[in-house]
Amino acid sequence: MDKFGQLLQAKIKRLGKSTTVLDKPTFSSENKVGIPTSDIILTSNSTTIHPDAVKIGDKNFYVSEFGKVYTGEIFRGLIILSNKDKDYPLNNIRIDVLATYQNKNITKTLTSKTIPSIEKGGSFYQIVEIQADYTDTYVIEIKSRYQCQQFKNQLNNLNIDAMTPSQRAKYQNKESFQINFVERDVYRNFNKKFKFQTKSPFNVTQNTVIRKNKYFMEMTLENESTNLFLQSVHLSVTNPNLTCIDLNQKDEEDEIVGSTMKKKEIRSYLYIFEPKDGQKIKSEDNAGIGTVELHWQNIFGDPGGIVFGPFIYINETD
């Protein structure tokens, strides 16, 4: 019986944050620096969405189109659930949105709710956020269950009273839908998955030498992502026997990070590590030195943060 066809449709658009603070949320399709002209994103300055504020007729952004997601960033997505039926609303829509980190085997619930109805030909909007903490493959799964008068009409055309118990059991246990013979109603299931991969936004290398009983470390930072605004580069000393002189600061609290860091741009940072209490550095030691924490804002206006290290001095004389 090929009845009770799917009436629900799901899409995802990537959201960016507006750089202008407004009293009311505004939405627009605009080109951002660093994005090809063909890739237009939906921007907003609020997580509160009114359906009338979103232009659905423009280009829809599927997973392959909304740009790369980088480790340490926040992925903000607008889920659009649309009712394809032009005659009846969908009712009692249960929606669960899950995010799975495949390699880590971690699943998180992003939202779980019941929507009273989606009007005929209408849509429901939900913003979800994923903190991309790992370089991994992420799967956003949308699960739903709903009712519709159209299904009831189709059910009335069946002679369900004449069905045997085994026939009824078949319709009660189908994966795509279930018939409640007591309520004489149909519950339709929906499931769709969207997948994207993350990668590190930076390629970080280090070169450390020992001179005059000090470690001299040069860290090289290459931007592997799109244009971004590098907000801070902070080194933390992990070796309790060392102190650090940061040569990348104008004063004690002003780090030299610049403004926009272009794709494939390379920057170098210099640090000097001195032993405490006049201790002698031994060239044969393999010493842990420190970690570097980076913070930036991507082209979508979302913040990012990642830690590299610990950096280790390795004696290569052998």
* Whole-number pLDDT of residue 285: 60
3-state secondary structure of 83: strand
Would you say residue 6 has pLDDT above 60? yes
The residue type of 65 is E
Q: How far is CA 137 from the centre of its chain?
A: 11
Q: Residue 162's pLDDT is what?
A: 81
In a 3-state reduction of DSSP, which class is residue 67? coil
For 151-172, what is each residue's pLDDT tens digit? Answer: 998 888 887 878 888 888 877 7
Residue position matching structure tokens 């030691």? 285
Contact 218, 204 (CB under 8 A): no
The per-residue pLDDT for 78 is 85
Give the residue from 32, 1, 3 showing the smallest Cα distance to 16.
32
Query: What's the pLDDT score for residue 247?
Result: 87
Window from 4-8, 57-61, 77-81, 99-103 with minimum mean pLDDT: 57-61
End-to-end alpha-carbon separation of the chain, Å?
75
- Residue 125 to residue 150: CA distance in whole angstroms: 23
* pLDDT tens digits, one per residue of 25-50: 333 333 333 322 222 233 332 233 33
Interstrand relation of 41-44 and 8-17 (parallel, antiparallel or unpaired): parallel
Average pLDDT along the chain: 77
Q: Identify the band that residue 52 occupies on the pLDDT scale cut at 50, 70 and 90.
A: very low
- For the stretch 83-134, pLDDT in tens is 999 999 999 999 999 999 888 889 999 999 999 999 999 999 988 888 888 8
Q: What is the radius of gyration, based on Cα positions, of the chain?
A: 27
pLDDT at residue 57 in the model? 32
User: Distance between CA atoms of 139 and 65, rounded to whole angstroms?
Assistant: 15
E strand or H helix at 126: strand 123-131
d(CA 318, CA 307): 30
Query: Per-residue b/e over 48-71, b at no fewer than 16 CB within 10 Å?
Result: ebeeeebeeeeeebebeebbebbb
Q: Are 241 and 276 in contact (CB under 8 A)?
A: yes
Statement: the pTM of the whole predicted model exceeds 0.75: no
Arithmetic mean of pLDDT, 216-228: 90
Distance CA 189, CA 8 (A): 9
- Out of 84-98, 143-157, 235-249, 281-295, give the one with best mean pLDDT: 84-98
Domains of the chain from N-terminus onward: 8-198 (2.60.40.10), 202-311 (2.60.40.1230)
Identify whether the C-beta of residue 225 lies closer than 8 Å to the C-beta of residue 302. no
Rounded CA separation 305/204 (Å): 14
Closest among 204, 221, 302, 211 to 256, alpha carbons compared:
221
Distance CA 133, CA 141 (A): 18
Cβ–Cβ under 8 Å, residues 71 and 104 = no
Minimum mean pLDDT among 163-177, 229-243, 264-278: which range?
163-177
Q: Map 221-263 to HEC letters.
A: EEECCCCEEEEEEEEEECCCCEEEEECCEEECCEECCCCEECC
With bands split at pLDDT 50, 70 and 90, how would you rate the model's confidence at 315? Answer: low
Write out the two tokens for 206. Answer: 């280090």
Asked if residues 165 and 102 have their Cβ atoms less than 8 Å apart, the reply is no
Pair 58, 98: CB distance under 8 Å = no
Angstrom distance (rounded) from CA 254 to CA 232 = 9
H helix or E strand, kind and range, residue 167: helix 165-172
Kindly tell me if the per-residue pLDDT of 19 is higher than 60. no
